[in-house]
Amino acid sequence: MLGSASLLMFPALLFTLFVGFPVAFAMIVVAFGFGYWAFGTSIIFQFVSKIDAMASNFVLAAVPLFIFMGAMLERAGIAERLFEAIHLWTRRLPGGLAVGTVLMCVVFAASSGVIGATETVVGLLTIPVMLKYKYDKALISGVICAGGSLGTIIPPSIVVVLLGPVANVSIGDLMFGMLFPGLLMAFLYVLYILILCLVYPEKGPRIPPTADDPIFVEKVRISMVALWPPMLLIAAVLGSIMFGIAAPTEAAALGALGALFLSVVYGDFSFAVLRESLLKTLKITVMILTILMAGNMFAGVFIAGGGVQTTERLIAAANLGPALTLGLFLIICFLAGFILDWISILLIFVPVFIPIVKLLGYDPVWFCVLFLIIIQTSYLSPPMAPAIFYLRGIAPPEITIQHMFRGVIPFIVLQLFTLAIVAMFPQMVLWLPSVLLGFR
């Protein structure tokens, strides 16, 4: 009886969200209400133990470090230099500015790991240029939103730092497991842009040569100067994990230190910049960790109340089979993205789904990467669509909400296509961690 009642926590949570409660407080209120009803005052001790466990989880120290790294990169002028260097090579292609924007998003996402930072910085730089050359406004919107969301699936990623402990899987395995799917998705973006602009040249015209175009040697020099800083950070973060030099938290510290060093090298460092970066880091970290704490409380009450066992019995009674059950989980996460943000989806569903995924015989790392792709898809999907809200904040008036909704649809299709490929070929996720980290 108690397990069946635990399932009511989900509609109760949705109700509190719809009436206007912030996500963190909604989860705490629902968890406390059901917990007190089921366990009485002992629920207080469970909540205290959850807070203590989270406060002593050293892996979560990577969260503020990654956020600080992204905040410093916004101020270090790295994005502007990347913009100049990449577009030198791509602007003669059909849709070359859009192609260069996707490539810039890949490098910047791999450097910062912060969702939203990539879209905001890249959008501010590239939207005026693409409008100047009469690019289709829907294409501009789709490229910025989809490229910015690559921060979810290109390592390092804040999502992975939170997903690893919640799913009880290695962050290192997740970071290397998501690398090939992330690059595949970026490749599909580029391929789509090239084909679209070949068929419809007016959507992304080539930029004609000018007299002041730099010669080849100068292009190489500009590219080297612009690319080595983010490459250095990527090597510091991922390379240190790859060669066993540092744990993910230590690698995040190297990345934060590298971002600080680069701001000094480029002459953009000041105490005002440092203060702004620290304040931004503090605000985002407090928001994320408060929601994480609330999610742990919610999941703890649900699991202790027998909710997972009840869910397992319902799935067994439905007799869907492993593949259909996995597909059902992903569909639920995708639909949840219409009304919930990614942190809420992660904290509400992953603790429930992971034990069942293991019971069905699937690898949890592979499932987590599928989950990351779904999260990224929901990042573009209305009505929540955080990517569109970020774009609305930086886009000029001539780019309307209709352009944005129309522009993201092809990229949602490409993300679902990537999901299908990764689902059919699990080794795309599992091979690299097994080779580099001895995973399984």
* pLDDT value, residue 368: 94
Give the DSSP H/E element, type plus range, for residue 307.
helix 307-318
pLDDT in tens, 232-277: 777 777 777 666 677 777 888 888 888 888 888 877 788 888 888 8
Of 298, 403, 285, nearest in space to 346 by CA = 298
Task: Sketch the domain layout of the chain as residue ranges.
Answer: 2-436
Task: Report pLDDT for 166.
Answer: 84
pLDDT band at 351 (very low <50, low <70, confident <90, very high): confident
In this prediction, residue 253 carries a pLDDT of 85
Residue with more model confidence, 152 or 23: 152
C-alpha torsion sign, points 142, 148, 153, 159: negative
- Distance between CA 210 and CA 212 in Å, rounded? 6
Compute the distance between CA of residue 96 and CA of residue 297 in angstroms, rounded to an integer.
48
Contact between residue 108 and residue 82 where contact means Cβ atoms under 8 Å apart = yes
CB 38 within 8 A of CB 2: yes
Greater confidence (161 vs 440) lies with 161
* pLDDT higher than threshold 80 for residue 170: yes
Give the tens place of pLDDT for each residue, 98-146. Answer: 998 998 888 877 766 666 667 777 887 888 888 988 899 999 999 998 9
Distance, in Å, from the CA atom of 333 to the CA atom of 327, rounded to the nearest integer, reads 10
CB-based burial of residue 312 (10 Å sphere; 0-12 exposed, 13-18 middle, 19+ buried)? middle
- Residue that wins the pLDDT comparison between 3 and 331: 331
Tens digit of each residue's pLDDT (9 = 90 or more) over 200-220: 999 988 887 776 777 778 777
pLDDT at position 1, please?
44
pLDDT of residue 139: 94
| 227 contacts 85 by C-beta, under 8 angstroms | yes
Q: What was the pLDDT predicted at 195? A: 95
- For the chain, give the mean pLDDT: 82
- Each residue's pLDDT tens digit, 178-190: 989 999 999 999 9
Q: What is the pLDDT of residues 373-430, one digit of tens each?
A: 998 888 787 666 777 877 877 788 888 888 988 999 999 999 999 999 999 999 999 9
Q: CA angle at residue 317 from 312 to 319, to 5 degrees?
A: 100
In this predicted structure, what is the pLDDT of residue 143? Answer: 93
Decide if pLDDT at 2 tops 60.
Answer: no
CA gap 108, 83 in Å, rounded: 10
Amino acid in position 222: I
CA neighbor of 125 nearest in space, from 186, 65, 87, 79? 79
Tell me the pTM.
0.80
Q: Which amino acid is at 333?
A: C
